[in-house]
Amino acid sequence: MDNSTNNKNIFQSELPCEKKNGHSIIQEFINNYPYGVQDLIKLLECGYQITYEDRKIMKEQFPTDTYKYYATFSRLAFKLYQEGQAELITTLITSGVDLSGTIYTIEALLSNKPEYFSFQTNVWVCIANNAITHYKNHWIFCEAALKQSGKWEEVYKAESFLRKHNKLDKNEIITWKKPKEYKILKLLYPQLQVPAVRFLEDEQPDPYQTAISLFHKTELSDMLETLSISIEKERPVWGYHHIAGATAEEKINTLWHTFPHEEFLEALFYLADHKHSSSILNLLIKEEANEIRDAIHAPNTLHKLQTGLEVGRIYHPEFLLLLWELGYRHKKTEDWQKDNSLTNATKMRLYCLDKLFDNTLNIDLKEILTSSIIQAVCLIEDIRNNRITFTNHPNWKSRINSIRSASNHPLNNYWGYIDMALDNFHTKEGQSMRTYLCQKEPGIKLDNKEETIVKETNLYKALTILYPDIYN
């Protein structure tokens, strides 16, 4: 039996594909998005095939761009699984805009359906220009798709494309820094004829995979999970008679005092993408807070905790709030600023916790940690810096219009606050970001419609701390 089959059997005993917490597994993923991505990846690595009903649920509840992403990439993940390359699925799902944009380009060309893009005229030329500008690292596959689809001659006649193509460094485009991404594209699109490439030195280890390797399913983690479920469901403990204590709470205390604290916390971190971890930590804090605080800050344990937090492996909101209650802080404010560390939504959550935890405004931090509010703060941070960091969109127009064109997009609920950022953050030349973007990217949907601004919300209170010069 191969590894993929073994993994599937183990996984199905832990988490049936059909239901979790009373929901379909895809509904559970949507409820926790984006912090349930690991669960989806785990499913796909075990050969789960997204169904019509799954896609229907995604389409109804996700913004259009998010739906297209997960519907497309879940389908492609199953193809990798069928090829016996399930270990590449994490890279496929979590890679940045270079790979996802390349795949959108190839999918559009091979299907003759430009639905991944919003271009209205000269569609194929615009798609080619977009790819050669933004996805240069994967251009050989885009060019091969243009030729395979019969679009090459049409595109090559366009002067705007020809100028860009003539400037390509032919050696640069066949030099690859990320062998895994090359392998993924070759597996997904074997019909594309691409030139031979050369690889640079081995790519850096994937941070998420590095974090995963630090946390292992163990007999102790199994015991803690079972005991925590007994606590959450308020039911008696079945089994584990060898552990002293009549109740689940007493047995967990016994385990804390029996196992080395480092080993106990590693098992707890393994569970820290689910509520089980917070139930256990909350129980122990009542009587063992000082011991837990010391154990968390032991060098080896602290390193594993920081790594798990950085990549989003440890992410359950209630668990995070308990960590900060114990005095954990991820970085000092000056270190966040010095390192220019705010590069993704996961790090923004950690920054908000560091910055807001000791606030005196009675902010509900659990609400702040929700996906939509963190996305709103990420957008405001990008407006402040006039950069595109927290998104896969290639430019401001694409990013803004994808929000404003979808009435159900969650960020529209906070657009009044985003308007304030657009009007009050300025470029180095003194223009407001709204004026600058309207001039730079015609067609961007930034008309100020006098959105409602409610100052009593948790988000507004948080913004007064995060950006006091703008929100006061």
Query: What's the pLDDT tens digit per position in 453-467?
Result: 899 999 999 999 999
Listed residue (462, 281, 443) closest to 369, CA to CA: 462
Question: Is the CA virtual torsion 112, 186, 203, 166 positive or negative?
Answer: negative
DSSP 21: T
**Binning pLDDT at 50, 70 and 90, where does residue 121 land?**
confident
Determine phi and psi for 18, rounding to 5 degrees: -75, -45
**The pLDDT of residue 7 is above 50:** no
CA-based diameter of the chain, in Å? 79
**The pLDDT of residue 10 is above 50:** no
Q: Check residue 203 and give its pLDDT.
A: 54
Spatial separation of the C-alpha atoms in residues 364 and 251, rounded to whole Å:
32
Q: Check residue 201 and give its pLDDT.
A: 60
Query: What's the pLDDT tens digit per position in 359-418?
Result: 999 999 999 999 889 999 999 999 999 998 888 788 899 999 989 988 888 899 999 999
**Binning pLDDT at 50, 70 and 90, where does residue 23 land?**
low
**The pLDDT of residue 177 is above 70:** yes
> pTM to 2 decimals?
0.64
Instruction: Give the chain's mean pLDDT.
Output: 86
